[in-house]
Structure 1
Amino acid sequence: MARTKRAARRGGGLKTEKRDLEASQAVTTTHDAASLIDKAHTLLAQSNFELAIKFLERALEVEPSNLEARELLGVAELEGGDVDSGREHLLHLLPPHTSEPPSHPSPYLYLAQCAQDPQEALGYYTTATAILERRIAENERKGKGKAVVDITGEEEGGEEERQMAVTALVAMIEIWMSDLCFEEAAEKNCDALIARALSISPTDPEVKLSLASIRMSQSRFEEAKEVALDLYNEIEGKEAFDDTLPALPARLSLSRLLLEHSQHLEALEVLSTVREEDSLNVEGAYLEGWALYLRAGAIVENPSLLTVTPSLKPPAAVAAEGAEGVTQDEDEDETPMTAEECFSESMRSLIECAKLYSEQDYVDEGIGAHVAELLEELEKKGVQPAMGDLEDEDEDGDVEMAA
């Protein structure tokens, strides 16, 4: 049986190689730019950037002035990792290389992402958002309007167009809050940009998180907390893998924001969906351990929290319930976790994070240093990790982290 499976896998690989060979041959035998571009669209959808580039280069040989081929080639180069070549092709879509600038947003959005400085990125984002907001306004005047298909074959109408606009506006806010945070106009521009984003999509999680970040930077902490809790209330009680949940990065950002406002239980509830959907996520494991550590410290400082707050089940127990099909309603145990249990669960999560961090060569040194610091403090307290999904740990429990 094993030999048959291996043979089947080899056969599958040979079929793929054969298809790629046939496609490569088609590059040289096809003389119609439109057909070459159509094939490139298919290859891009399959993330076969290398072969897509060959088709697009051939299309430009056949028809050097074809702007669709030029833009797609730029996109394929960027997605394939060649930022310089991709940027160069996209710049050739703009004057003086062309008589008119593109009237659709995608080239500007791609150029913004590979811009060489923040002001350049803002310029491209500004052009893209102006195009998108104009289209949104036109669609609203006409009703739903007709979906527009951009040069890469993606529909930009309706919600897709709104999502592109708010994503670009949020990216501009992030530039003003990071690279340009010391500029005199930073706060004013952030307020103006978030107002535009809210007018386009007031319920978008990324927009709400951006609003909360702005309010935090302005020391308007209660307003930031209100935004965070509002977003939490919208997703409270939803199970992992629910299509209506915000994207995983947004939930991680929300968890961080909730922790900044000492909303430990709320953060842990959000993180439970992250951990269930992606158990290998380093940041998810880190934030779970940090939240439990903070929760334990809060109980030590104020033991009455155990009588006035809802129960908190150990993450390992929640995972076990999910595996066994046990729902919260079926479990009558409402006993909240003690500070000692929270510390123990925190150590379990942090050890798991350390393991994932090392295995994945994770790039965020800040997380690595903080995890090492927390584990050292827990060891000094004499805390033992809770029994969970820890595997292949050293017998002495030592965990090495990059400082």
Structure 2
Amino acid sequence: MARSKKTSRARKVSKADGTAAGSAGATDVAGIVDKAHVLLAQSNFELAIKFLERALELEPTNLEARELAGVAELEGGDAERGRAHLLHLFPPHAAEAPTLPAPYLYLAQVAQDPQEALGYYSTATAMVENTLGGKGKSRAVADAAEVEELTRMAVTAIVAMVEIWMSDLCFEEAASANCDALIARALAIAPTDPEALMALASIRMSQSKFDEAKDVVMRVYAELEGRDPFDPLLPGLPVRLQFSRLLLEHNLQMEALDVLSTVREEDSLEVEGAYLEGWAWHLRAEALVADPTLLDKEKAERGPPAEGEDEDDDAPLSADECFSESLRCLLECAKLFGEQDYPDQGIGAHLQELLNGLQARGVQPAVAEEAAAGEGEDEDVEMA
């Protein structure tokens, strides 16, 4: 499930550099908490936890220190300790329940059952909707950046609820209706949000409304098509990776490759990006083998080249060429998978299956453009 944003921004602190919570000034709880904010922003969860433990020793009822301790433990990988800290923000440990959404979002991620998670997500979403003015403004929204952050928080929480209804609670009678109601709320908040639209497409797929699902997918793609890597209007890498999978589900391999090209250029070490690129080329090759007239059909749809363009400038690859591109990407993915000790064994198993199949076909990997350019400059260069 998607993780919520940090509960607080790191505040400005003095440049005095303490190395442990027991150093000079350790009795200054506010200073310790400030230092913990900085450490959290640096993803130094282990040291942040040490500072926050000291703060809570000195002031066990400090809610800010307690919340940050919960966040630090969750981010550091100890869900049980993180949950315990966050539950201390609620009665009977505290006088009243938190009035900001972040603790609820974090607790939803470590909930002990789907209904508990839905409860936390629902409370957090209602708080954000109130702040945004959806159910009566409770306070003035400071600026456009805050509106954007709150909107993203609400959409992420709602999509998480949709995912629960589509997975853990998919056999419940009310699942389909609840998904429709939830996604309507998300789109009312952010009508063009890619994550919300992707969830809508998944809902329509689960309802066997395949044409509607494909229409939604193409709406998202129209917003991303032609954008250069690092374009600030592109959604984050995880969203693009998820969207690429959705495109492949709809047999839109070339569109998926277009989106994946931005992922691969922005992060060439992303294992899932390399895997999906190889898988997309593989599916494209299989589609060409299954329908030998596909290239002619696509050529007819594109129409004649524009004036001054060569017809062969952007000629689509043949099935054999697509298989070669697939092998190139998958070999790169296998190398990254091993180097990073990548944890997703599902990707690992499918990767090995694809490599075995391609090698059994006698496919040779395509040469990357950079390698080809290097060979042209230096005859001694060999492909690994």
**TM-score over 0.5 for the pair:** yes
- 2:47 aligned residue: 51
Select 2:141's aligned residue among 129, 137, 146: 146
Q: Relative to structure 1, is the Cα distance of residues 43 and 310 closer, same or farther in structure 2, using a 3 angstrom cutoff? A: farther
Query: Counterpart of 2:20 in 1: which secondary structure?
Result: helix
Q: CA deviation digits over 1:8-39, x for unaligned, max 9? A: xxxxxxxxxxx76x342665634333333223
CA distance in 1, matches of 2:158, 2:134: 19
Select 2:107's aligned residue among 101, 111, 114: 111
Normalised TM-score (structure 1): 0.79
Give the superposed CA RMSD: 2.9
CA distance in 1, matches of 2:99, 2:21: 35
CA distance in 1, matches of 2:296, 2:311: 19
Following superposition, the deviation at residue 98 of structure 1 comes to 1.9
| Aligned residue type for 2:126 | A
CA distance in 2, matches of 1:180, 1:197: 19
Following superposition, the deviation at residue 140 of structure 1 comes to 7.6
Tell me whether 1:218 sits opposite 2:178 in the alignment: no
Which of 80-89 and 52-61 deviates more? 52-61
- 2:345 aligned residue: 365
- 2:304 aligned residue: none
Q: Relative to structure 1, is the Cα distance of residues 297 and 139 closer, same or farther in structure 2, using a 3 angstrom cutoff? A: same
Select 1:130's aligned residue among 117, 126, 129: 126
CA distance in 1, matches of 2:318, 2:275: 20
Contact preservation (8 Å) 1:105, 1:131: yes
Tell me whether 1:179 sits opposite 2:164 in the alignment: no
Residue correspondence of structure 1 range 194-209 to structure 2 within 5 A? 194-209=183-198
Consecutive unaligned residues in structure 2, runs of 5 or more: 1-15, 301-308, 372-382
Identical aligned residues as a percent: 63
Residue correspondence of structure 1 range 251-270 to structure 2 within 5 A? 251-270=240-259
Contact preservation (8 Å) 1:74, 1:85: yes
Select 1:83's aligned residue among 63, 75, 79: 79
Contact preservation (8 Å) 2:21, 2:50: no
Q: Relative to structure 1, is the Cα distance of residues 243 and 130 closer, same or farther in structure 2, using a 3 angstrom cutoff? A: same
CA distance in 1, matches of 2:341, 2:47: 30
Normalised TM-score (structure 2): 0.83
CA distance in 2, matches of 1:225, 1:355: 34
- 1:65 aligned residue: 61
Consecutive unaligned residues in structure 1, runs of 5 or more: 1-18, 149-154, 312-328, 391-396, 398-403
CA distance in 1, matches of 2:114, 2:125: 16
Following superposition, the deviation at residue 138 of structure 1 comes to 6.4
CA distance in 2, matches of 1:360, 1:52: 26
Following superposition, the deviation at residue 108 of structure 1 comes to 0.7
CA distance in 2, matches of 1:248, 1:331: 33
Select 2:323's aligned residue among 333, 339, 343: 343
Contact preservation (8 Å) 1:27, 1:58: no
- 2:260 aligned residue: 271
Which of 192-201 and 283-292 deviates more? 283-292
Q: Relative to structure 1, is the Cα distance of residues 81 and 378 closer, same or farther in structure 2, using a 3 angstrom cutoff? A: closer
| Aligned residue type for 2:244 | S
Q: Relative to structure 1, is the Cα distance of residues 39 and 330 closer, same or farther in structure 2, using a 3 angstrom cutoff? A: farther
Select 1:287's aligned residue among 252, 264, 276: 276
Following superposition, the deviation at residue 310 of structure 1 comes to 6.2
| Aligned residue type for 1:145 | A
Which of 158-167 and 283-292 deviates more? 283-292
Which of 177-186 and 104-113 deviates more? 177-186
Which of 379-388 and 117-126 deviates more? 379-388
CA distance in 2, matches of 1:383, 1:224: 35
Q: Relative to structure 1, is the Cα distance of residues 234 and 97 closer, same or farther in structure 2, using a 3 angstrom cutoff? A: same
Following superposition, the deviation at residue 113 of structure 1 comes to 1.2
Following superposition, the deviation at residue 77 of structure 1 comes to 2.1
| Aligned residue type for 2:194 | P
Contact preservation (8 Å) 2:271, 2:336: yes
Contact preservation (8 Å) 1:139, 1:146: no
| Aligned residue type for 2:51 | F
CA distance in 1, matches of 2:289, 2:157: 44
Following superposition, the deviation at residue 354 of structure 1 comes to 2.1
Query: Counterpart of 1:122 in 2: which secondary structure?
Result: helix
| Aligned residue type for 1:158 | V
Q: Relative to structure 1, is the Cα distance of residues 364 and 29 closer, same or farther in structure 2, using a 3 angstrom cutoff? A: closer
Following superposition, the deviation at residue 241 of structure 1 comes to 1.4
Q: CA deviation digits over 1:313-349, x for unaligned, max 9? A: xxxxxxxxxxxxxxxx999722221111111111211
| Aligned residue type for 2:118 | L
Tell me whether 1:302 sits opposite 2:297 in the alignment: no
Q: Relative to structure 1, is the Cα distance of residues 55 and 289 closer, same or farther in structure 2, using a 3 angstrom cutoff? A: closer
Following superposition, the deviation at residue 50 of structure 1 comes to 3.0
CA distance in 1, matches of 2:21, 2:160: 41
CA distance in 1, matches of 2:123, 2:218: 34
| Aligned residue type for 2:341 | D
More helix by share: 1
Following superposition, the deviation at residue 366 of structure 1 comes to 2.5
Q: CA deviation digits over 1:232-254, x for unaligned, max 9? A: 11111111111111111111121
